[in-house]
Structure 1
Amino acid sequence: MDVDSDESEDEEDVKSGQPYMSLLKSLVESNPHKAKRRKLDHSTDDQPNHEPESQSDDDNDVEEKEAVDVDEVEEPEEDPTNIAPEDLFDEDDDLDETDPFETHFSNPDEKVFSARIKAADQTKWKMQRQQFHSTRAYWSYPETGEDVALPGPIPSVTELKLKKRLRESIEPKLSSFETAAEKNVGPFLFNYRDVLYCNRSVAEADKLRQLTALHALNHVFKTRDRVIKNNAKLSKSDGNEDLELRDQGFTRPKVLILLPTRQSCVKMVDHIISVCEPDQQENRKRFEDGYIDKSQKFSDDKPQDFRDLFAGNDDDMFRLGLKFTRKTVKYFSQFYNSDIIFASPLGLRMAIGSEEESSKKKKVDFDFLSSIELVIVDQADALLMQNWEHVEFIFEHLNIQPRDAHGCDFSRVRSWYLDDQAKYFRQTVVLSAFNTPELAELMRAHCHNWAGKVRLQLECPGLIQHLTVKARQTFSRFEAPTAAADPDARFAYFTKAIVPMLTKRGGKDTGGTLIFIPSYLDFVRVRNFFANNPIVENVTFGNISEYADIPEASRARSHFLTGRHKVLLYTERAHHFRRYQIKGVKRVIFYSLPDNPIFYQEIAGGYLLKSEQSMLLEHGEGVVRAMFSRYDVMKLERVVGTQRVGRMIKETGDTFDFV
């Protein structure tokens, strides 16, 4: 199949206003009721933990990493309309026209959503900033001339439109919404708005997992029960009634949950099991064997957020299908027979495949993402430390009309699927500890929900006055004309304003200087400068990046402590994956501020405090120097605070000192 030509033909058909005819044309040779057998590039369940090199900026060639598949299940695709009535999750649920599931998916007001989809397609969005409980809500919705209010508060789960089975299960565990995360996220989540929550913390992680697990199950159960009940109606009609029952998408999977590690997958799955309380769990032991690691892998001095992310099985290569029936949850179901897909970005991209390898091994297959109606991206801040391009790739392949029929009964497919409008109905929920330009761009480019989208973000008090050590903190602003020109302007400022301080008196006073560099590309540039430029020939240096193995990093730390190396270059991802306790630091230079504000505390405060405690540094003599431009406003706000960031970006002065 010539993929490129087919896609171009599809685009022409869509432009001509005939997406339905385009779909039928592309599937005309498919047999809608033929069972297919698929195997998503599998080999074995077990895979050793990998080094963080595979998670760096340069890890774009996913074919080089061995494909280890955890979905090795040979089974035919199911006929989505052939579901037994005894598989109903609830037999006595009545239709509720106020249910967000009905108003958003099942029976939306065509006049309302058509106008909003048109506005969203033309990128006409209205944004309002409002206070929502304890946080700031940046609320956006397609501009059609009407004001769309924020959803009302949800005091308890009794106010939710849940399946009876789920309500009975969750009420003893979650009687009311008490935490800030529950109060802020809940109303948007259960009303099918897109959400970017920028204040995820370790303390609230379980509450957020419980909320999203409940919402995902409620959506899956309602979708499946609607199909089963309509099957019963059709079987009773015997073809004598003219029934038009639009109740499904092209393929079965409805929920996609992206997670950073297998252990994070275990936590989310366990919350789902806790909520739905199945009688049986098929393949559970296999799941535990492949996903749970109870060994102690690091010392007790690691911080809480590090332990939360990397404790257990920290493998970032996985994908898992979960299938639900009334009494059973089946692990490792084939994707086309799954209700929920759990995956790391790398694992899912490997499952999809690439055009380059399609002629050698298998064709590219992303049809199982065509009918995803809910995407949950948990711990997005951790995914940013992996390869964010994989996340973007996945979102680019969501809700594309399938190339094959996969047993689909098109008479049952919802009209907005046939009209190629599925992306406007999909709900996206992104949970992160902080906001970044990448997350903002994800919401802008890939979140088109006609019901609206919101960014929830607390005001930042700042960290500069809460370090564990007294130190002079100097923030120096440099000018960059555009975001694209920022790296060159940053390097020029570093070589002209920072380097002369390091070479003063032949570099004799340079010892104990740690230069923190978030971007690996910037790191390579600065490393090459220190290695080759005669200006710094008297400044000895070492480096630790995410590519450094443990012995190499240990040597660099040792040489830095003994003074053999005056300067140590250190990347953000090396700190994220290893959290090295670096000794001998007397001054810190932030080539750029870290995305994670915790790193500023640990490096500017923690490292200098250790030097004071070991008598390598006099009390209060530590120095911190940070470079920033106006394109660093998000990072800067988290460090200096919301009240200061505007002044530091806009004022005529370019140097700001804090003690």
Structure 2
Amino acid sequence: MAHAEAHAGDEEAQEVVEAIRVKDVESESEDGVTEADEEQSDESDGLSDNEEVEAVPTVKAYSALLQGFQQDDGEDGARKKRRKIEVEHPVLIDEQNDAIEDGEAASFSASDDESLSDEDEVAEEAGKVGDDTDVGSKNGRGDDDNALDPYEAHFASVDDNELSKRLQCVQAKEWRTEKESLPGVGSFTCFVPDSCKGSSIRKPVTDGPLQLPLKKRLTESSAKKLPALNDLHQAVAPYIFNYSDFLLASRTVDNAAGVRALACLHALNHVLKGRDKVLKNTARLAQSDTPDTLDLRDQGFTRPKVLILAETRQMAYNYGNSIIELFQPEQVENRQRFIDSFSAPVDDRDIMPEDYRELFGGNNDNSFLTAIKFTRKTLKFFSAFYSSDIILASPLGLRRIIENEDKKKQDHDFLSSIEVVIVDQADAMQMQSWENVDVVFRHLNLQPHETHGADFNRVRAWYLDDNAKYIRQTIVFGAYATPEINRLFNTAMLNIAGKVKLLPSYPGAITAPSLSGLGVRQTFSRFDSTTPATDPDARFKYFTSALLPSLLRLPKPADGAQGILVFTPSYFDFVRVRNFFATSSLTQNLSFGAIHDYTSVPDQRRARSHFLSGRHAILLYTQRAHHFFRLKLRGVKRVAFYGVPDNAVFYEELVGGCLGTSLREGRVAPEEAGVRVLFSRWEALGVERVVGSQRVKGMLGGMGDTFDFV
């Protein structure tokens, strides 16, 4: 994976801008339409069937928003936007194109749009067609049972007073906490607004996907794609489909396909229910003698409703494939182009760890964004962003558009009406640059700069009141939790339906098979750190005054080579330590090498060779370098962790792999080898993964500051 900077060149950015702003070619040349009313739902956001009239937004919020658009567009532009708003129930141009894509013939005009173009659509509005009804096989409910439909309950049926209370609780950070542990799954911590009644703990889905509130067209495909849910999937599904924010910090290669399928199923269900809701409301407007009296708030500012963030094109390809398998369209447009652009042959050699092959196998480019558009019969890749339903992108790809150097090309309005965000492999995103993720979330659900053809008579009140971020559902999958991911959970996941964190119980990396039987002492030293802000200085002082001198005083191994590997989790710490080695009198007689994530391959080989031969007594090595290269270092006789690695697998590989290799080759005796780990109480998450959930409690708050394991 390339370690790209946040800003791209003008040429690549221009291509993506054009992909966002381009209009469907067919819409400029075709006049016929058969699903115009149906595709009105595609252009807007969605709810499920039989939605009641939602509270009317305040005149102040509505007027202020329109005034902002009028000021941006000028006098002529304002006149044009008002004419758009005054249309009773307009059908946008890309909706005509959607109907053409489905290959059905009918006519449509702006003055004669009161009849649906398909008899099935008319029947569906009357409730006679069951093709897209909700199912719940366990309780036998259907489309019309809104009280049991999480989609309806979250987006449409919440009482105004209850919604106001929940918003006040979330904004005031007044959360009620509940916890539950499931053997073999982990510990759930649920946060709900204080005003919510009842327990937030949900029972696992034991009867498979048919127990979920799905559209009927998804039940058969989901039964094939997810024939049997394991314990983790059964426990996770109720929270996801209840529209709660969810953080899964135990994603593995083994369970990744299942959680990805659940996420795609939920995203599709959301899009289809939104499409169905707007379609039915459009029919009500068309059949009503007094449409002006109907207040049907069922959409947002722009059409895209789901954002899927993936770190590599290959993972995006996996999501696209999963969506196709679940949606089962009659036609997939631009499929070969999608395959060519997002996939590549996956190297099946097992010389690298399994998690590395999953992340970097195939097409590992991490700068991309594309969109997916649905009609009743087709799925289209590479659709125009403002006429799409799902945006599939990497954080870096989005950031290049949001922060384009050419301000005229900057755009984030297509993120204004996102209602479901899915973030996969959050741990890999942090290794790349967590700032990319922060930038994306800071630009979600903002008020748009342009109208983009929105029908403001049907925009939901909470969009107009700038409360969409409290309704949005955010789902995050990661191999582990970090302070940065926890900060996202605390500051950006503010769902009025509550939020849930699932953490596993860790046995500890020190118990891994690769470390068993080594007979090497592993010493963990805790230093005092009063605040996170002072932690770097306190760490550096302890390392240079206590840990490093003790390592240098140890007798040299029999071959005379020191073989000290110094691992630094942060690049900033690496630079500080490297400068110390270059200038300090303590290390003036020592030769050292360094490998970080930007070190060229020839320089890597040179540093590794000098370290193996003993020419370099010390090798400085960064966490990101190991993440990207997974080097198998030889000649390691002692390991000093400047900080605890975020990924406990790294600890296993450096101690059990690199140091273990030296022991097996006879380069160092067990009594001469050693591991020293420096940590503070602010590294509780990382320490827990290395030493285990049971041992960490005494290490962070117990007596003493040195802990030995063998």
Query: TM bucket by the smaller chain?
Result: 0.7 to 0.9
8 A Cα contact 2:226 2:258, kept in partner: no
Q: Which moved more, 1:490-499 or 1:165-174?
A: 165-174
The aligned residue for residue 677 of structure 2 is 626
The number of residue pairs the alignment matches comes to 598
8 A Cα contact 1:374 1:427, kept in partner: yes
Q: By how many angstroms is 1:415 displaced?
A: 1.6
Whole-angstrom CA distance in 2 between matches of 1:351 and 1:281: 27
Q: Which amino acid aligns with 2:622?
A: T
Q: By how many angstroms is 1:505 displaced?
A: 7.8
CA distance 1:620–1:108, change in 2 (3 Å): farther
Q: Which moved more, 1:103-112 or 1:444-453?
A: 103-112
The aligned residue for residue 524 of structure 2 is 475
Q: By how many angstroms is 1:506 displaced?
A: 10
The aligned residue for residue 465 of structure 2 is 419
Q: CA offsets, 1:286-306, max 9 Å, x none?
A: 11111111164x953101000
Matched, 1:327 2:366: no
Q: By how many angstroms is 1:459 displaced?
A: 1.4
CA distance 1:187–1:633, change in 2 (3 Å): same
> Which of 345, 358, 365 matches 1:294?
345
The aligned residue for residue 616 of structure 2 is 565
8 A Cα contact 1:77 1:336, kept in partner: no
Q: By how many angstroms is 1:161 displaced?
A: 1.2
Q: CA offsets, 1:603-641, max 9 Å, x none?
A: 011111111222212256431100000001000000111
Q: CA offsets, 1:233-269, max 9 Å, x none?
A: 2222254572221111110000001111000101111
Whole-angstrom CA distance in 1 between matches of 2:83 and 2:326: 35
> Which of 450, 455, 478 matches 1:404?
450
Report matched runs for 1:256-295 at 5 Å.
256-294=307-345
Whole-angstrom CA distance in 1 between matches of 2:680 and 2:291: 70
Whole-angstrom CA distance in 2 between matches of 1:485 and 1:340: 43
> Which of 151, 174, 180 matches 1:101?
151
Whole-angstrom CA distance in 2 between matches of 1:465 and 1:168: 43
Matched, 1:495 2:544: yes
Q: By how many angstroms is 1:335 displaced?
A: 1.1
Whole-angstrom CA distance in 1 between matches of 2:179 and 2:618: 45
What SS does structure 1 have at the residue aligned with 2:386? helix
8 A Cα contact 2:166 2:196, kept in partner: no
Q: By how many angstroms is 1:149 displaced?
A: 2.5
The aligned residue for residue 60 of structure 1 is none
Q: CA offsets, 1:60-95, max 9 Å, x none?
A: xxxxxxxxxxxxxxxx97369997765979655233
Report matched runs for 1:134-153 at 5 Å.
134-144=185-195, 146-153=197-204
The aligned residue for residue 616 of structure 1 is 667
Whole-angstrom CA distance in 1 between matches of 2:97 and 2:296: 11
The aligned residue for residue 213 of structure 2 is 161
CA distance 1:203–1:368, change in 2 (3 Å): same
Q: Which amino acid aligns with 2:390?
A: I
Matched, 1:188 2:239: yes
What SS does structure 2 have at the residue aligned with 1:204? helix
Whole-angstrom CA distance in 1 between matches of 2:426 and 2:440: 14
Q: TM-score, normalised by structure 1?
A: 0.87
Whole-angstrom CA distance in 2 between matches of 1:82 and 1:278: 14
Q: Which amino acid aligns with 1:273?
A: I
Whole-angstrom CA distance in 2 between matches of 1:409 and 1:615: 75
Q: CA offsets, 1:304-352, max 9 Å, x none?
A: 0000110000000000100011111111111111100011100011122
Whole-angstrom CA distance in 2 between matches of 1:459 and 1:109: 39
8 A Cα contact 1:96 1:102, kept in partner: no
The aligned residue for residue 25 of structure 1 is 67
> Which of 107, 110, 119 matches 2:160?
110
Whole-angstrom CA distance in 1 between matches of 2:182 and 2:450: 44
Q: CA offsets, 1:370-426, max 9 Å, x none?
A: 110000000111111111011011111111111211100011111221221111110
> Which of 179, 204, 219 matches 1:129?
179
Report matched runs for 1:581-596 at 5 Å.
581-596=632-647
8 A Cα contact 2:313 2:342, kept in partner: yes
Matched, 1:353 2:403: yes
What SS does structure 1 have at the residue aligned with 2:581? helix
Whole-angstrom CA distance in 2 between matches of 1:657 and 1:80: 70
8 A Cα contact 1:184 1:456, kept in partner: no
Matched, 1:430 2:480: no
8 A Cα contact 2:370 2:382, kept in partner: yes
Q: Which moved more, 1:244-253 or 1:213-222?
A: 244-253
The aligned residue for residue 119 of structure 1 is 169
Report matched runs for 1:206-355 at 5 Å.
206-239=257-290, 242-294=293-345, 296=347, 300-354=350-404
Q: By how many angstroms is 1:497 displaced?
A: 0.8
Q: By how many angstroms is 1:181 displaced?
A: 2.5
CA distance 1:327–1:592, change in 2 (3 Å): same
The aligned residue for residue 69 of structure 1 is none
CA distance 1:308–1:167, change in 2 (3 Å): same
What SS does structure 1 have at the residue aligned with 2:432? coil
Matched, 1:643 2:694: yes
Q: Which amino acid aligns with 1:20?
A: Y
Whole-angstrom CA distance in 1 between matches of 2:152 and 2:196: 24
What SS does structure 2 have at the residue aligned with 1:371? coil
> Which of 221, 227, 241 matches 1:175?
227
Q: Which amino acid aligns with 1:246?
A: R
What SS does structure 2 have at the residue aligned with 1:365? coil
Q: Which amino acid aligns with 1:394?
A: V
The aligned residue for residue 376 of structure 1 is 422
Whole-angstrom CA distance in 2 between matches of 1:620 and 1:184: 46
Q: By how many angstroms is 1:231 displaced?
A: 1.7
Q: CA RMSD in A?
A: 2.4
The aligned residue for residue 94 of structure 2 is 78
Report matched runs for 1:60-71 at 5 Å.
none
The aligned residue for residue 56 of structure 1 is none
Matched, 1:549 2:625: no
8 A Cα contact 2:508 2:693, kept in partner: yes
What SS does structure 2 have at the residue aligned with 1:195? strand
CA distance 1:225–1:594, change in 2 (3 Å): same
Q: Which moved more, 1:404-413 or 1:461-470?
A: 461-470
CA distance 1:604–1:474, change in 2 (3 Å): same
CA distance 1:377–1:205, change in 2 (3 Å): same
Whole-angstrom CA distance in 1 between matches of 2:292 and 2:435: 50
Q: TM-score, normalised by structure 2?
A: 0.80
What SS does structure 2 have at the residue aligned with 1:456? strand
8 A Cα contact 1:294 1:312, kept in partner: yes
Q: By how many angstroms is 1:440 displaced?
A: 0.6
The aligned residue for residue 394 of structure 1 is 440
Q: Which amino acid aligns with 1:341?
A: I
What SS does structure 2 have at the residue aligned with 1:203? helix
Whole-angstrom CA distance in 1 between matches of 2:252 and 2:357: 13
Q: Which amino acid aligns with 2:169?
A: A
The aligned residue for residue 11 of structure 1 is none
Q: Which moved more, 1:316-325 or 1:18-27?
A: 18-27
Whole-angstrom CA distance in 2 between matches of 1:618 and 1:322: 59
8 A Cα contact 2:285 2:291, kept in partner: no
Whole-angstrom CA distance in 1 between matches of 2:170 and 2:60: 19
CA distance 1:594–1:92, change in 2 (3 Å): closer
Segments of structure 1 that go 5 or more residues without pairing to the other structure are: 1-15, 36-75
The aligned residue for residue 459 of structure 1 is 505
Q: Which amino acid aligns with 1:492?
A: K
8 A Cα contact 1:193 1:451, kept in partner: yes
The aligned residue for residue 534 of structure 2 is 485
Q: By how many angstroms is 1:128 displaced?
A: 2.4
8 A Cα contact 1:423 1:449, kept in partner: yes
Q: CA offsets, 1:212-247, max 9 Å, x none?
A: 010000000111121122222222225457222111
